[in-house]
Amino acid sequence: MKMKLYAGIGIMVEIMKDITFWVLPISERSARKMIGKTRSSIILDGVRGQSGYDKKALKKLLLICSELVESYPEIQEMDLNPVILNQEGLHVVDARIILKE
């Protein structure tokens, strides 16, 4: 199964095609690389004097999702949208999990 990370702000994700795909399971190292491969990753470090975002929380979420999908092979698809990342962590606003029939 592949994990894909859409990164960006709102519809800009679709316009910029800011997506990266990784085969599961992912490691801490590959989660870091996955985040770094997105075009939006430079924004996460902070720009124009703004504080950076909590990339550790995002990495942890990716690892948890990878572990969840690996532990439950009946999961066909999992969509967390939106995930709001800030300087102190993140919030998953909505989630959808589709199981295999």
Quick one: pLDDT at residue 68? 94
Quick one: pLDDT at residue 71? 95
pTM for this prediction:
0.88
Contact between 68 and 75 (Cβ < 8 Å): yes
Could you tell me the residue ranges of all domains in the chain?
Answer: 2-99
In CATH, 2-99 is 3.40.640.10? no
Quick one: pLDDT at residue 82? 86
21 pairs with which residues across the strands? 4
What 8-state DSSP symbol labels residue 49? T
Quick one: pLDDT at residue 5? 63
For the chain (101 residues), the mean pLDDT of every run of 10, in chain order, is 65 77 92 90 88 94 94 92 92 94 89
CA dihedral 90→48→18→32, nearest 10 degrees, is -60
Quick one: pLDDT at residue 60? 96
